[in-house]
Amino acid sequence: MVISILLLCNFAYAQDFKNITQGDVAPFTGTILTPQSIAKIITIEDAKLKTCNEQWQHEVNTITINKDTEIDKLKHDLKIIEETKNKIIDEKEKEISRTYDLVKKQNRNLTPLWLGLGFSAGVITSFATIYGYETIIND
């Protein structure tokens, strides 16, 4: 059996692969590959893997750059919106202050005037009542 394996190994190096069936030198049905053919398959698959990794890395970098640019644009837009909002708030506060000052000027404190008018109206009414009473009594 050892001699058969040695002969088979020499024969296997002559081709890239060798089909065997159960009962031959190997105890299973399958394909025997030479080290050169395995190396060739591994090299091809490694090249495909490297290409795939490079493409993946390129796509990740492209997406990262696009998203970073979009984030920067959104930050800039947010800054402009906040500045605009602050300007609007300042203008509204100024307008409210001017309106308050205007209303304050128009609505002076009239309490002393109303107290004086009420007191005067009460005194005049009292004198008018006394005068009317005396006029009725003296007639």
Spans of all domains in the chain: 1-33
What are 5-53's pLDDT values in tens digits? 444 444 444 445 566 666 667 656 677 777 788 889 999 999 999 999 9
Report the C-alpha gap between 5 and 132 in whole angstroms: 152
> For residue 38, what pLDDT is reported?
84
Beta strand segments in 5-116, E = 17-20, 30-33
> For residue 22, what pLDDT is reported?
66
The pTM of this model reads 0.45
**Phi and psi at residue 19, to the nearest 5°:** -80, 135
Report the C-alpha gap between 96 and 85 in whole angstroms: 16
Between these two residues, 14 and 136, which has the higher pLDDT value? 136
Question: What average pLDDT does range 54-63 have in this prediction?
Answer: 96
Contacts of residue 36, Cβ cutoff 8 Å, sequence gap at least 6:
16
Does the pLDDT of residue 126 top 50, yes or no? yes
> For residue 66, what pLDDT is reported?
96
- Residue 16, burial from CB neighbour count under 10 angstroms (0-12, 13-18, 19+): middle
Report the C-alpha gap between 49 and 120 in whole angstroms: 106
What are 83-120's pLDDT values in tens digits? 999 999 999 999 999 998 888 777 677 788 889 999 99
> For residue 68, what pLDDT is reported?
96
> For residue 107, what pLDDT is reported?
67
Q: What does the CA dihedral 14, 15, 17, 23 come to, rounded to 10 degrees?
A: -50
What are 59-85's pLDDT values in tens digits? 999 999 999 999 999 999 999 999 999
> For residue 35, what pLDDT is reported?
77
